[in-house]
Amino acid sequence: MHSSKKALVLVTVLLITTVLCGVTLAQTFENFTNIVASTGRSQPIIVQNFQINGSPAGEGDEIGLFDGTLLVARAKIVTGSISPSVMAAILEVIPPVGSTLPGAKPGNNIIFKAWQKSSGTETGNVVPTFQVGNGTFGEGHFRSFRF
């Protein structure tokens, strides 16, 4: 099977698993609120495990993915655990005419931050282990990680 077809099958299976496991992406966020507007281009990023300070993430905890200081993807635990969950990182669009639409730039490093609702603290001390990908944004490719 071609690698892009494998990626599509994996993302589809993970989306179905996410729904069946009771994990949802919340509509409201308490900490990671200033996400960039959609550009119409995105990159799937799969979260396989999510811990904060060595403890499993709990209800209300959030994860944010950044390109520099620009928040390009986020997820919040509503029920259950976040494992696995698919986030869509918003990618930059440079049209032939007009202004650039901001988003993650392919090739830039993915910066991870987590927020723990119970303590109200945010940490940027997040070290992911990539199962697929190398820790950079890239159009047409998915990334899979755990931390």
- In the chain, where the domains are located: 3-146
Please state, in angstroms and rounded to a whole number, the distance separating the CA atoms of residues 63 and 94. Answer: 27
Please state, in angstroms and rounded to a whole number, the distance separating the CA atoms of residues 9 and 91. Answer: 21
Q: Whole-prediction pTM value?
A: 0.76
Q: What is the pLDDT of residues 36-76, one digit of tens each?
A: 999 999 888 888 777 787 788 888 889 999 999 999 999 88
